[in-house]
Amino acid sequence: MSSKDSKTEYHFLIEHLHYHNYRYHVLNDPVISDYEFDQKLNRLKAIEEAHPDWTMPDSPSQRAGAEPLSQFNKVTHPVPILSLGNAFDEQDIRDWHARIMRLDERVREAEFTVEPKLDGLTVVLHYQDGTFVQGATRGNGEVGEDITENLRTIKSLPLHIPIKTKGPKVPESLVVRGEVIITKADFIQLNERLEKEGKKTYLNPRNTAAGSLRQLDSKITAQRPLTLLVYAIVNHQDGEVPDTQWETLSYLKALGFPVAESSQHCKTLDDAIAMCNNSDPDTFPFEVDGMVIKVDKLNLSQDLGVVGKDPRGAIAYKFPAMSVTTKLMDIGVKVGRTGVITPYAVLQPVEIGGVVVRHATLHNFDFINDKDIRIGDRVLIKRAGEVIPYVIDPIKDIRSGDEVRYSPPANCPSCGDPLVNPKDEVAYFCTNSACPAQLIRNLEHFVSREAMDIVGLGVNTVHQLVEAGLVKDIADLYRLEKPDLLKLEGFGEKKADNLITAIEQSRAQPLHRLVTGLGIRLVGQVAAQALSTHYPDLHTLSMASKEEIEAMEGFGPNMAESIIAWFNNKDNQLILDKLKDSDVWPVEKPQEDVGDAGNLPLAGLTFVITGTLPTLSRTEAKELIESKGGKVTGSVSGNTDYLLLGENPGSKFAQAQKRDIPTLSEDALRQLINEKSA
């Protein structure tokens, strides 16, 4: 595969993985299997390893989970709450071990702790002087949702932990990580009770547990048989804690936390692999989708660091996926945020591992054609974890002759515009940004922090505006008036004024943010910034030729075609006219001639950012530093010159202190820039 094709695939994978993260972690309504997600993520990582300069800050490999829901207050975690890399067989585990052994020779003699990979909802629990004071979801790994009151209803969660008078002192402040689950037995009893009451039953424990914790009324949460298992200390102040994972589990149990009794300490990697191979998911009292192998020495595990969103000191061994056959009743299509038309299988309902499956992923239209999948076929489907599976193959030997071949649609099923199938690409696209099926997600993207950053315009308000017919495309936001908003439920004078003010302020956003917000397929923040330096306004950009765009560094033919197609779409041209009429038409100022980049004030300096800054988001702080010639990295090392320090810093602060790396506040950073600019 050529470099250009790889880059197209890379951007395509990023878009899809973000969407599926959102479906899984926010909506609790996944549409692909864990196995399929893991394969896509592994492919993404492979591309990034081959082309490290392509890695984008918002890549799914660089984060865990998804953005927290707007209905809940936000909680900034004291350290990143990371995910895990995956292994699917013994060789994957041994390859992981070989990689970390090359990084640190101590791994050769390391022991391991093996724990079940719990299939529930990750929670972070805060205790102060032994009292439970706050609980949050993982969210995006740095910021989660405050679900304290819902967590208080879980009987297995200790509201107070014992303060011992002898032995190690319990930390004054203690933050632990665990998983909220529903046991198999409790889930069966819950459904039996609901069925007797004539109420809707649930499909699987994981989504039931996650949905229960995200109830706005904790009385509803209290009615669900939720339980908790804790497995890690996230942070602590004062007091002593164990220095191995195995001792940590015993310590947590002694404090009164429930832990998984099926965990095991293994002297060698072979012992750990044997435990994984001998583990049967059916024997656990709760749902598991694998086993987690952790380097037992916590300081060694921490020293191994993180790659993307995965700590190197642990890996998840995923159990083999399950497969069954059923009849393909029909093939439907969905329209994604960027206009991607995705086919899906409508199945004759079939049970897999206690879950009734009615839909499955069909990947793309080329997959259907290459596999010769026909409506009416008996198809083999595969499932891993508590999610919707995917079609593997049709069973051709039992065809009756009544099966019907499938052809991709010529027009968008939502807006009717002709679909585009770029040369050498498998995907079909609708390029109409006003397409009803894309509108809400386009608006969410347009107002996001990375784009126009319209504060207060969350997903609920976006839905209200669309449902009320006030917004039919992104440009309509700038035609909203206060009386329009006052007609909406939940809007008073102050809320309406604040939103109108935020929309007005967004008119001043620079060109690259507006280009990002347009949602052009394959054009993210980095590409938008590059386009803004070459073309001073949207009109000039719209007149650019495919050859001109391709000539830019990092822009291949697929990205150029995507940009041209977007600006050639008549509906999009109307949006641009409306934006210009509304004075949302930033013009990029010519860059100052600074000569060699080495003349910039922060040239040659490397920064790491931690905590919450007073006025800047992490993205904005990174943009500021890089615009002044500095470099921002994700971890503290011997090459780090400064730590930009905000409130509630994570482990990077302690690492910087150990290395005597100077810290800067936001004000001190600006002062440093001024001093070096003088």
Active site residues: 117
CB 229 within 8 A of CB 260: yes
CB 245 within 8 A of CB 294: yes
E strand segments, 163-209: 173-181
Look up tokens 């309509």; give the residue.
Answer: 476
Question: Residues 6 or more apart from 18 whose CB is under 8 A from it?
Answer: 58, 60
Rounded CA gap, 296 and 107, in Å?
10
Three-class secondary structure of residue 196 per DSSP:
helix
Contacts 24+ apart (CB under 8 A), 264-270: 264/113, 264/114, 265/111, 265/112, 265/113, 265/296, 266/111, 266/112, 266/113, 266/114, 267/111, 268/111, 268/112, 269/93, 269/94, 269/97, 269/112
CB 514 within 8 A of CB 586: yes
The tokens describing 343, both together, are: 């086919």
* C-alpha dist (Å) from residue 333 to 18, 339, 392, 429, 482: 19, 12, 18, 12, 38
CB 601 within 8 A of CB 550: no
CA dihedral (290, 22, 31, 149) positive or negative: positive
φ and ψ at residue 233, rounded to 5 degrees: -95, 120
CB 439 within 8 A of CB 473: yes
H or E element, residue 540: helix 538-542
Reduced 3-state DSSP string for 243-289: CEHHHHHHHHHHHCCCCCCCCEEECCHHHHHHHHHHCCHHHCCCCEE
CB 155 within 8 A of CB 224: no
Question: Residues 6 or more apart from 607 whose CB is under 8 A from it?
Answer: 625, 630, 631, 632, 633, 640, 641, 642, 643, 644
